[in-house]
């Protein structure tokens, strides 16, 4: 079945797989001390124009969020996130498991508002009860958000400014960053993130890797004894090379960006297909997650031919579903979707 279920439903991009094969027999030291991790880190520093960045590789997104957040927060602090933020909603309590609270603010198209963030921080620091409360110790945002939306450069600059004024780090979850950087309306670049954030991760899993996320700490910002922190949380890979080789491939010949562009292009075509058929987009997403509202009968019939995922019921007879493009989405997939949609008429 043709699948738009998500952007991790196939394996690795062929160039990534090829590099794994080519390097397979090289003996390399374990736990991330191999030459491919070093090489990939250097390429990422270059791509970020951030020669003083520390770059670390972890296996998955929730793991990355938990390790980075637990390492950046101090004992009395929690992490501020939009109430739709992945750390707030869909990580099974992984942040709380580290002993820290997720402090939520309302989302606006999946995003935090700099103004509301500042008002919240100001109110917190004016609160006489703050010794009985969890201190906001860092800010988490996702870009693209869980709804596929993007921060503008002005928005991210404003949030970064609020964080710096209050002396707390800004951390950006880039699980789907490639598409967020390469879509038509993208304003932000890797160097922008390196300048405006204190930590961010470049998602590999949803961009053609078998697994892997690259965490960037600009300005030598890696927490002390980070390898111990990673090991303590069961996140240290013996064959760290697996992550190094893949990210080295992704940051060779712009593969990472080519995949992001491909995801975005496919998503634009997807949007046209829906628009042309009068199927309403539930929200305006410029990236590879697209949400459309279907009649339940349509949804069921379409589901026989095409895989997508349930998002939420909007009324008795309508449902929002999500279509996602990935590195392996093809023109044939789109054609199959068109054919299936024709049958709904």
Specify the residue, 12 or 181, whose C-beta has the smaller distance to its own copies.
12
Q: Please answer whether residues 46 and 212 qualify as being in contact, where contact means their C-beta atoms are separated by less than 8 angstroms.
A: no
Report the site for its own copies in 127-186 (rule: CB under 8 A): 128-129, 131-135
**Dihedral of the alpha carbons of 31, 36, 39, 45, in degrees to the nearest 10:** -50
Binding mask 234-273 for its own copies (x = CB under 8 A): xxxxxx-xx-------------------------------
Report the site for its own copies in 75-94 (rule: CB under 8 A): 75-76, 78, 89-94
Single out the segment in contact with its own copies by CB under 8 A; choices: 38-46, 58-66, 109-117, 184-192.
58-66
Three-class SS state of 49:
coil
Single out the segment in contact with its own copies by CB under 8 A; choices: 3-11, 183-191, 263-271, 278-286.
3-11
Residues in contact with its own copies, total (CB under 8 A)? 82
DSSP states of 46-84 as a string?
A: HHTT-TT-EEEEES-HHHHHHHHHHHHS-TTEEEEEETT
Closest alpha carbon to 219 in 238, 233, 200, 245: 200
Q: CA geometry: angle at 332 spanning 18 and 208, to 5°?
A: 30
Single out the segment in contact with its own copies by CB under 8 A; choices: 27-35, 190-198, 261-269, 286-294.
27-35
Three-class SS state of 291:
strand
Report the site for its own copies in 312-341 (rule: CB under 8 A): 328
User: Buried b / exposed e across 176-194, counting CB within 10 Å, b at 16+?
Assistant: bbbbbbbbeebebebebbb
Binding mask 287-316 for its own copies (x = CB under 8 A): --------------------x-xx------
CB of 25 to its own copies, least distance (A): 6
Specify the residue, 51 or 106, whose C-beta has the smaller distance to its own copies.
106
Specify the residue, 116 or 195, whose C-beta has the smaller distance to its own copies.
116
Q: Considering only residues 97, 115, 191, 277, which one is a binding residue for its own copies as defined by CB under 8 A? A: 97
DSSP states of 159-175 as a string?
A: HHHHHHHHT--EEEEET
Backbone angles phi, psi at 214, to 5 degrees: -105, 115
Single out the segment in contact with its own copies by CB under 8 A; choices: 54-62, 109-117, 152-160, 279-287.
54-62
Q: Considering only residues 41, 44, 59, 194, which one is a binding residue for its own copies as defined by CB under 8 A? A: 59
Q: Considering only residues 47, 55, 82, 102, which one is a binding residue for its own copies as defined by CB under 8 A? A: 102
Helix (H) or strand (E) holding 338: helix 331-342
Specify the residue, 119 or 154, whose C-beta has the smaller distance to its own copies.
119
Q: Please answer whether residues 308 and 5 qualify as being in contact, where contact means their C-beta atoms are separated by less than 8 angstroms.
A: yes
Q: Considering only residues 30, 51, 106, 191, which one is a binding residue for its own copies as defined by CB under 8 A? A: 30
**Which pairing describes strands 135-142 and 77-82: parallel, antiparallel, or unpaired?**
parallel
- Can residue 122 be called a binding residue for its own copies (CB under 8 A)? no
Q: Could you tell me the two tokens for 57?
A: 């590789």
Q: Considering only residues 229, 264, 266, 292, which one is a binding residue for its own copies as defined by CB under 8 A? A: 229
Q: Could you tell me the two tokens for 130?
A: 């703050």
The secondary structure of residue 30, as a DSSP letter, is S
């Amino acid at each position: 079945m043709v699948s738009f279920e998500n952007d991790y439903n196939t394996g690795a991009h062929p160039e990534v797989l090829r590099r794994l094969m080519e390097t397979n027999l090289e003996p390399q030291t374990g736990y991330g001390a191999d030459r491919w991790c070093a090489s990939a880190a250097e390429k990422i520093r270059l791509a970020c124009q951030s020669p003083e960045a520390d770059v670390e590789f972890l296996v998955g997104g929730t793991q990355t969020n938990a390790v980075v957040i637990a390492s950046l927060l101090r004992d009395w602090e929690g992490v501020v996130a939009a109430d739709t933020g992945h750390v707030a909603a869909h990580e099974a309590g992984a942040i709380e498991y580290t002993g820290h609270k997720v402090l939520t603010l309302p989302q606006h198209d999946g995003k935090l508002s700099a103004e509301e963030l500042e008002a919240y921080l100001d109110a917190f620091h004016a609160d006489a009860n703050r010794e009985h409360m969890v201190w906001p110790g860092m800010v988490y945002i996702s870009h693209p958000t869980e709804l596929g939306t993007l921060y503008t450069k002005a928005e991210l600059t404003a949030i970064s400014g609020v964080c710096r004024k209050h002396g707390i780090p800004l951390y950006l979850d880039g699980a789907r960053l490639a598409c967020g950087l390469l879509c038509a309306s993208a304003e932000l670049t890797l160097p922008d993130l390196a300048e405006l954030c204190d930590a961010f991760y470049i998602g590999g899993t949803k961009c053609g890797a078998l697994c892997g996320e690259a965490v960037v700490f600009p300005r030598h910002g890696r927490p002390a004894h980070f390898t111990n922190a990673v090991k303590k949380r069961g996140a240290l890979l013996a064959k760290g090379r697996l992550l190094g080789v893949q990210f080295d491939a992704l940051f060779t010949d712009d593969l990472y960006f080519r995949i992001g562009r491909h995801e975005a292009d496919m998503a634009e075509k997807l949007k046209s297909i829906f628009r042309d058929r009068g199927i309403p987009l539930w929200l305006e997403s410029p990236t590879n997650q697209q949400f459309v509202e279907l009649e339940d009968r349509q949804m069921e019939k379409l589901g026989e031919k095409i895989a997508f995922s349930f998002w939420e019921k909007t009324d008795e007879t309508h449902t929002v579903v999500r279509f996602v493009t990935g590195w392996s989405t093809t023109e044939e997939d789109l054609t199959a979707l068109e054919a299936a949609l024709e049958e709904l008429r």
